[in-house]
Amino acid sequence: MMFVTALAPAIRKAPEGFLSPADTAAVHAGRRSLLAGAFGAALAGLTKPAQAQAQTEDDPNIVVLPAHSKGLGQGVATNAYGVPSQFEKNIIRRESPGLTQVPQAGVSFCPLQSLFGIITPSGLHFERHHQGWWDIDPSKHRLMLNGSDERMLKRPMVFTVDDLMRLPSITRTHFIECGANSGMEWGNVAVPTVQYTHGMLSCSEFTGVPLRMLLEMCGADFKRGKFVLAEGADGSSMTRTIPVSLIQNDEVLVVYGQNGEMLRPENGYPLRLLVPGVQGVSSVKYLRRIELGDMPYGTKDEVIGYADLMKDGQHRQYTSIQEVKSVITSPSGGQKILLQGQHNITGLAWSGRGKIKRVDVSIDGGRNWRQARVQTPVMSKCLTRFQLPFNWTGESALLMSRAVDETGHIQPTYAENRAVRGSRGIYHNNSIQTWLVTPSGEVKNVQL
């Protein structure tokens, strides 16, 4: 007997992405109990069919009728707003220990290792706050559009959230990635899990109205006005310059919807800007003001931070595009492969320039590459899921993924990136990630 669905538990997802000491001991002792009941038996069956047969026949999880098959379940609306199963309580956002001193100026990382497909559940969307999050009363929130002078924009206007929701809307699925995602890796810190290496990345279906339409309602003059300033309503006064060229294709949205419901407070409720493909900081949350002007604003968030420190010591400013990137999310750092045989390498690829064209996967540190299967539809500036079967024979393996986007950009190696960028930067690290699988099945972050 062979249960194909039983493959997933072979990579055990423990808290923090690590195995508990007890579990690790169990693995070393060779106890199968680690893989619950029938699943464990079925997995064993992939390599030893006869044994699997014997184990499944007297498995109490099959032959003993459980309480949930005999009694009454919970009533409707017991969870008026549904929450995940109690058995999924380890799948949460996590703060990287020691990364930030104060939680209000912090990051919580998305558990990429545990997610499927491309949509990040709203409650798991990574969070980056410069001064904490707020749950703002939407009836009191206002969005003002003005020009740096009256020639830029003829009629300054103030919109309520209701005003915006009465306009025709656009819904699109896009990733948001912080410009500092994978930032620790420039210095070869090699943080242990994909949650911490790549978890400042999430993807939602967003709903809102094009910023260009709002500006045109105000009589914007795009011959004069070449730059937009976006300003948030939180105490950090988050302000970013966005070139008008970026908003002209209607991709930049003033967003109120996220995955079919209103934005979550942590993600900017009731209004945020969404600048697809551009580093997350430009997607200003709690958006309260848009100004049209004729030059870049050079605000604190553009001068002090979000500038790339180059190899020669110079800083590169306004590098906004999140370049082509990918990462294997499973097996990934901190996980442990418990059984030899068939596994599935899976991960995410994305590019701030458009669609993903292909993803190649290597299991030998980049000597040989095979093209991964990419889940369709592939959308622009959106996460793309890839997979490749992996037969683990108990030997060391170096797992890598390399994405190519529709503009022909190829994800670089660390050596290629460092040759230009050095190793002291924070932002815009799109290097190829390597996971080492050791003969004991442990998966570790290494750099090649």
Ligand X SMILES: Nc1nc2c(c(=O)[nH]1)N[C@H]1C(S)=C(S)[C@@H](COP(=O)(O)O)O[C@H]1N2
| Binding positions for ligand X, rule: CB under 6 A | 125-130, 176, 178, 202, 232, 234, 236, 238, 267-268, 280-281, 283-286
Residue 125 interacts, among ligand X, Mo ion, none and using kind-specific CB cut-offs from 5 to 8 Å, with ligand X
Cβ(106)–Cβ(180) under 8 Å? Answer: no
Q: Closer CB to Mo ion, residue 298 or residue 305?
A: 305
Closest CA to 214 of 172, 155, 302, 257: 155
Per CB under 5 A, 274 contacts Mo ion: no
Express the helix, strand and coil content of the chain in percent, nearest 5 each.
25, 30, 45
Nearer to ligand X, 256 or 392 (CB): 256
Using rule CB under 5 A, residue 272 touches Mo ion: no
Task: Return the residue nearest Mo ion (CB atom).
Answer: 178
Smallest gap, in angstroms, from Cβ of residue 107 to Mo ion? 8
Return d(Cα 193, Cα 354) in angstroms, integer: 27
Residue 442 binds: one of Mo ion, ligand X, none (C-beta under 5 to 8 A by kind): none
Which of Mo ion, ligand X, none has residue 267 at its interface (CB below 5 to 8 Å by kind)? ligand X
Q: Of 177 and 442, which CB lies nearer to ligand X in the complex structure?
A: 177
Name the minimum Å distance from CB 343 to ligand X.
31
Residue 199: contacted member of ligand X, Mo ion, none (CB under 5 to 8 Å, by partner type): none
Residue 186 or 206 with smaller CB distance to ligand X = 206
Partner interacting with residue 232 (select from Mo ion, ligand X, none; CB below 5-8 Å by kind): ligand X
| Pair 266, 245: CB distance under 8 Å | no
Contact between 132 and 234 under an 8 Å Cβ cutoff? The reply is yes
- Can you give the length of the chain in residues? 448
Q: Which is nearer to Mo ion, 207 or 283 (by Cβ)?
A: 283
Query: 3-class SS at 95?
Result: coil
Nearer to ligand X, 42 or 233 (CB): 233
Minimal distance, residue 21 CB to ligand X, in Å: 33
Q: Which does 409 bind (CB under 5 to 8 A by kind): ligand X, Mo ion, none?
A: none
Least distance CB 100 / ligand X (angstroms):
12
Strands 308-309 and 239-243: unpaired
Q: Is the CB of 127 or the CB of 442 nearer to ligand X?
A: 127
**Distance in angstroms (rounded) separating the CA atoms of residues 215 and 292:** 8
Q: Which is nearer to ligand X, 184 or 436 (CB)?
A: 184
Smallest distance from ligand X to CB 251, Å: 17
Cβ at position 77, least distance to ligand X in Å: 29
Q: Which stretch binds Mo ion (CB under 5 A): 58-66, 172-180, 312-320, 342-350?
A: 172-180
Task: Give the residue, chosen from 281, 284, 290, 292, that forms a contact with Mo ion under the rule CB under 5 A.
Answer: 281
Q: Does 275 bind Mo ion (CB under 5 A)?
A: no
Tell whether residue 280 is a contact of Mo ion (CB under 5 A).
Answer: yes
Per rule CB under 5 A, is residue 178 in the interface with Mo ion? Answer: yes
Q: Tell the smallest beta-carbon distance from residue 179 to ligand X (Å).
A: 7
Q: Could you tell me if 389 and 343 are in contact, meaning their C-beta atoms sit under 8 angstroms apart?
A: yes
Residues 125 to 144 in contact with Mo ion, rule: CB under 5 A: 128
Nearer to Mo ion, 41 or 176 (CB): 176
Is the Cβ of residue 130 or residue 289 nearer to Mo ion in the bound state? 130
CB of 127 to ligand X, least distance (A): 4
User: If 0-12 CB within 10 Å is exposed, 13-18 middle and 19+ buried, where does residue 331 land?
Assistant: buried
Q: Could you say which of Mo ion, ligand X, none residue 283 binds, taking C-beta under 5 to 8 angstroms by partner kind?
A: ligand X
Residue 43 interacting partner from Mo ion, ligand X, none (CB closer than 5 to 8 Å by kind): none
Residues that bind Mo ion (CB under 5 A): 128, 178, 280-281
